[in-house]
Chains A and B, each alone.
Chain A
Amino acid sequence: MRICMVSDFFYPSIGGVEEHVYNLSQMLLSLGHKIVVLTHAYGDCSGIRYVTGYLKVYYLPIKVCYNQCILPTAVCNVPMLRAVLLRERVEVVHGHSAFSALAHEALMVGSLLGLKTVFTDHSLFGFADLSAALTNNLLEVNLGMVNHAICVSHIGKENTVLRARVAKNRVSVIPNAVDTALFTPDPQQRPSNDIINIVVASRLVYRKGIDLLAGIIPRFKNTPNINFIIVGDGPKRDLLEEIREKTNMQERVHMVGAVEHNKVRDFLVRGHIFLNTSLTEAYCMAIVEAASCGLQVVSTSVGGIPEVLPKSLILLAEPEIDAIYAAILIAIDRHRKSSFKVSPPVANGHLPSEANGKAKRRRRRKTDTPTSPTQLPASSAPPADQNSPAEPVMCPYRCNELVETLYNWEDVALRTVKVYDRVSNERSFTTSELVFAVWQHGSWFLVFFVVAHFLMRLLELWRPRNRVELAQDVQRPVS
């Protein structure tokens, strides 16, 4: 199948959506599909490029307006998007992220061309303020024209169904995944003495709950042997530095700053506990990455986070300083009590020197076990009291294996392909159906829709479909 991923967010930008698009594309490529990624130009990074695994990326020359998004004009980029979609003989247009104006435009062009459209929503929205109301209306209009929507968590599905008024059966829940082969534990990196490291890795912004973190750090002022490693940068960094100075914890709070995504593991493996203080989160990849590195995760119980990890891997707390502090204390207690001797099973391929996950991945390929388990190993165990410190902390390598059974990109890709198969069996929208959908969901958008429609008709005359030069497919070397 020929699929076009559209999002304003793609490499060289870094974030959850970018990673999702990249990993999903790679997996679909290896499943034998033809993938094209559409995004806007990032500075010098423009034109058509091939990235890893002959993944073709179009960096369209569109000016960025705000927050890495293009100006949502709805009609200005129609000729360009049409040209790309026709050139690549795309069958399914797959837009990502509700914030991405490019994705919305491409979905509209796709549905006008009679292609199948899928949209993945990566974020949660409130309903209270004006900006949310406007964005929700735009999303409602666009999802009216989309064959199928995908959300990354059940909360996300509830949210999307509410705010975009799509039918429930047109929304699938397919979670994100984490490459557990890249996020392997390495307990040798942890401090050998009695020190416990608490790692925080997020952008330092309000939405990630840095104000909560700033309230938690001073609580450990008089608790020796507890150190913090804070990875990430953002406007709230000043606040944390001020807190650190005022509490005299310069030696114990290590501010790393912004780190490239592939370096994050180096900091994760140094910690025992991972702390996430987000105020809202649709899925939260960070906690899965941390759990994959064998850390005990402590997180606020917001949005989709309670759905992500089994109780054995995560301690949930209400988004209040006292509750999170109590949860951290439980995690510390567990670590102090258990103090297991870490001995990586060499025969299992977990060599301490194994910095990258190549060996592990090779092993996985070789054994080729079905990666989707029918039942969770932990679910069979009697439900232990979640907040009892008596429950020992899990071995990091066990954590990694458990996360691997829960999430992997292959599974995500297979489930996404199911959605593609489903929509390609559906009839594509006729123009009158589209007009009716737009009319129902937000009649103001008809202005743009009609302009776009006639622009497409004009382009059909000017640059007929059968005269468009088709792109050559690069043959993927068989590995």
Chain B
Amino acid sequence: MVKKGQSKRQPWVKNLYSNREYPDNYTDASFLKDLRTNLHCRIYTFGEAIAGITVLNNQISCITGFLILYQLMLSDSVSPTTILVPSCGITGIGYLCYRGRSLSWALLGEDSKTLVTVVLFGYLFSPMLHTLTQAISTDTIYTMTFFVLLGNLIFGHYGLDVAMVSKAVSLNAAIFGAICLASRLPTSYHAFVLLVEAAVFFVLYPIMTEANWHAGFMVPIFSMCCMALYCISRPVLYLYASTTIFINFVCPFIFVWQQQYKFNIHGPWDEAIVEENTEENLDGNL
């Protein structure tokens, strides 16, 4: 389209009102010179990826641990009290660690009030919760539990602020799963213990780990789950262990390997980013 040999032409300028001598579909040599790629891209190392994925694995182990306790109670190999007492002890230690220096009598009073309320009401309502889903067939219960616990995994908060994440949905799914399972246990005391365990595994333990997570925290819960599964069922142990290892090592490897394909385009057409005025920062900006 561009005719060569037109020597007297004025140089092409990047504006919309000059360049009368050029055809409209003329493409200048300066085309796309402002294109930038991978401006704000962060390339993760293999170590970072492995350490990061442990958060998800921890949640999977959490669910596994909870289901192990359920299985132990269902098969009557362990009495509910043997589960309740150690977990109360561990919770107490965990509480002290969590509060640490900031612990004071007033704070302790506040927290124990909450604890008493929850435990008391849990105990009062456990007969009702125990029979709530009793009429539903066991297969339905297990299927439903599978899906709600999967929901717990999907909506869980792993430190990313995206639209999918909802702590409320995630927690409610887990508690709902616990209530479903509680109806399969023999007594309402069993059901109460299961709900307490649900609270420990899905509420308190995540609070603890979220505050200061370290990839090494994965090791104790993983080995405990493995030991328990070794006694309960070998196939499940292999499944659990291989899943964890796959997620923890193979997935990060794929992720790191795929990073070479990162191709993020930036240019003058990008929307400028300005701080949005919200209720909070409005007064500060004035």
Cβ contacts under 8 Å, A304 to chain B: 16
A16 interface residue per 8 A CB criterion: no
A334 interface residue per 8 A CB criterion: no
Cβ contacts under 8 Å, B282 to chain A: 239, 242-243, 246
A28 interface residue per 8 A CB criterion: no
**Which B-chain residue is minimally distant from A319 (CB atoms)?**
B272
Q: Which of A56-64, A98-106, A164-172 contacts B (4 or more CB under 8 A)?
A: A164-172
- Where chain B touches its partner, the secondary structure class is loop
Whether B17 pairs with A376 at a CB distance below 8 angstroms is: yes
Query: How far in angstroms is the closest Cβ of chain B from A373?
Result: 8
Whether A280 pairs with B272 at a CB distance below 8 angstroms is: yes
Cβ contacts under 8 Å, B286 to chain A: 218, 243, 246-247
- Among A150, A156, A303, chain B packs the most CB atoms within 10 A around the CB of A303
Whether B276 pairs with A158 at a CB distance below 8 angstroms is: no
What is the CA–CA distance of A310 and B17 in the complex, to the nearest angstrom? 9
A 206-226 binary contact with B (CB < 8 Å = 1; else 0): 110101101100100000000
Whether B269 pairs with A211 at a CB distance below 8 angstroms is: no
Cβ contacts under 8 Å, A124 to chain B: 269
Cβ contacts under 8 Å, B27 to chain A: 157, 168-169
Query: How far in angstroms is the closest Cβ of chain B from A41?
Result: 32
Cβ contacts under 8 Å, A148 to chain B: 25
B31 interface residue per 8 A CB criterion: yes
B265 interface residue per 8 A CB criterion: yes
Task: Report, as a range, how many residues of chain B touch the other chain.
Answer: 20 to 34
What is the CA–CA distance of A374 and B14 in the complex, to the nearest angstrom? 16
What is the CA–CA distance of A159 and B273 in the complex, to the nearest angstrom? 18
Whether B272 pairs with A302 at a CB distance below 8 angstroms is: yes
Cβ contacts under 8 Å, A125 to chain B: 269
What is the CA–CA distance of A319 and B10 in the complex, to the nearest angstrom? 32
Cβ contacts under 8 Å, A212 to chain B: 274
Query: How far in angstroms is the closest Cβ of chain A from B25?
Result: 4
Whether B265 pairs with A415 at a CB distance below 8 angstroms is: no
A340 interface residue per 8 A CB criterion: no
Whether B267 pairs with A280 at a CB distance below 8 angstroms is: no
**Which B-chain residue is minimally distant from A402 (CB atoms)?**
B17
A279 interface residue per 8 A CB criterion: yes
What is the CA–CA distance of A169 and B22 in the complex, to the nearest angstrom? 13
Whether A239 pairs with B277 at a CB distance below 8 angstroms is: yes
A153 interface residue per 8 A CB criterion: yes
Whether B264 pairs with A128 at a CB distance below 8 angstroms is: yes
Whether B16 pairs with A303 at a CB distance below 8 angstroms is: no
Whether A159 pairs with B25 at a CB distance below 8 angstroms is: no
The 4 closest A-B pairs by CB, nearest first: A172-B24, A319-B272, A124-B269, A406-B17
Could you list 4 further interchain pairs (A-B, Cβ under 8 angstroms) beyond the known A173-B16, A280-B269? A173-B24, A247-B286, A302-B272, A375-B18
Q: List 14 A-B contacts (CB under 8 A).
A: A125-B269, A154-B16, A168-B25, A169-B1, A172-B25, A209-B274, A218-B286, A280-B269, A280-B270, A302-B268, A303-B268, A306-B15, A307-B14, A375-B10
